[in-house]
Structure 1
Amino acid sequence: MRSLFKKVALPSLLLFSSTTAIFVVGTGNAQATYHNNHNYSYCGSGSSNSSGNQNSSCNSALGEHTYDLVEDGVYQSTNANDSSISIDGVSISLAAFSDTQGVYNETVVGADLEKISNQWAYGVTNNDEAIYSGNSDHAIDNLNYNYQGSNAAYRSGTTNVERDYDFVLLSFDQAVTLTGASFSWLYDSNDSQISVAALGNTSTLTSGVNTWSDIVADALTSASFDIENCETLDHRADFTFTESSQYWLVGAYNTVFGNIGGYVGNDAFKLANIGFSTTETQAPPAPTEVTEPGTLGLLMACSLFVMWRRKKSI
């Protein structure tokens, strides 16, 4: 049985800096970061756990393969080919991103993927957390924001809100289909959504000049899903994708990925498990070509026909 408490060395991660147009190298042997300044409840601090919304189907398998971020460990990079994390022969690496290129700018740049604890799994801290209003500053969330205008204008809804959207990029060394995800913690257990997209490559994401809208426009597919409130510790979302890709974005509900009518601004979670499938749909076999009779076959057929006519005429 694999230990839940093994230490994982996190290698360097190349990401576009949020403040300058250069690449920076992260800490080579980062340790898990623990946050104790928030009192989080089992289902979330934003709302109480309602048994009416619990769904026992959450106990079913996430997919053909399940990647447990805590038990299996995390390799931080956008390149899975160098990763030491392998699930059933598939190498996986992770990186974090958020639209935090400046306070009033929606450009997507690199963020910090952080292990909260063995219980609470992984979240994201972006570059604007310290100066933004909101909370859940180390969850994968869309709660944190900045606004232009007075507090009265903000409360009345007459001012523009600049909201951050945190996402995690999962890179695989082969094309896979994401089938689901589970979460160790939700901010709101009654109304939480998640957005997901498959990318053909990471160039649009890592360029440091694009918004989430630009990235989704270049994606292979994207969608948003409801997160179920489970009876067990982990909550979950089931995906319905049929496409395969090496690169998948998973993050806080953003309507440009797919608008399913959920409330934006109360979505925050800690990512615990990812379900994926490597089974590809087999194309039906091509029809077998029927070759025309060869010369020998044709002569034999003709001979039999002549013999039959001669016998019939006798």
Structure 2
Amino acid sequence: MYSSLADFLSRGVAVLAKGPIALVFCEDEAEIDTTLRHHLQLGFKAVVVFMPAAFELDPALETRCTRVTLDTLAENAVTDTVNEIIPAAAGQWLYYCYNAEYLFAPFCEHRSVGEMLAFHTEERRDAMLTYVIDLYAGNLAAAPNAVNLDDAWLDKSGYYAQARKDPDKGNAPKERQLNFHGGLRWRFEEHVPMERRKIDRIALFRAKAGLTLYDDHTFSDQEYNTYACPWHNNLTASIVSFRTAKALRRNPGSKEEIQSFRWHNSIPFDWNSRQLMDLGLMEPGQWF
């Protein structure tokens, strides 16, 4: 346990010596324990959890995770923290997410995240695109905060991509970069700021000196922001997330207007990678 990020980088930097490393940022107390257990089961060598001192953590997880006290709701807390960790973890694969978010990769039930990233590295890739797929409780009366792992739903359609424009080149489309949209941020876009509506996140990446994470989940190295190499399709992954649903239920304006997140294209989430691949929400690439 570390009292601050500075304390962690001073005394706990050995945790960053071997990857892949998961960085989990807890904005509230929803499903903290299940989030950490899920990522430990995926095979991350270390899981570092950032949370306010007042948040509780299962004692069994205290010995398996590294806890760092952090005001996760402070402005730019996540990007600033990741950017300070990057140089300390140079050469290692990092992953970042929030509580009540769960990473799924192709065939993750049988293959570890380390195996996947070893293959991805062999394909000369230093970052992996992930799609943040909104989950929501089927019955908001029973789960007012929209979080229910036993009654989790997602949208089976309504996802689309748009060209990402390059302002330095007369707004020409950027090579192998797209902005992806869908889910609750698309259906309830009137309650979501424009800059928060896309669902793509470069959540898995290899740390290196000089690399900077931006607030829109992209990086200073443009190749990190691409969805595939120039030669063929690459692996992508999904992060199934209750985060948007929680925010829409927490905001007074949207909470009053939304009685249910379910619509005719809602389906129960089966908590497996095959369902996400069948829906086209992640790409196995050349990894079979």
The TM tier, using the shorter chain, reads: under 0.3
Larger strand share, 1 or 2: 1
* TM-score normalised according to structure 2 size: 0.25
Which has the higher Rg, Structure 1 or Structure 2?
A: 1
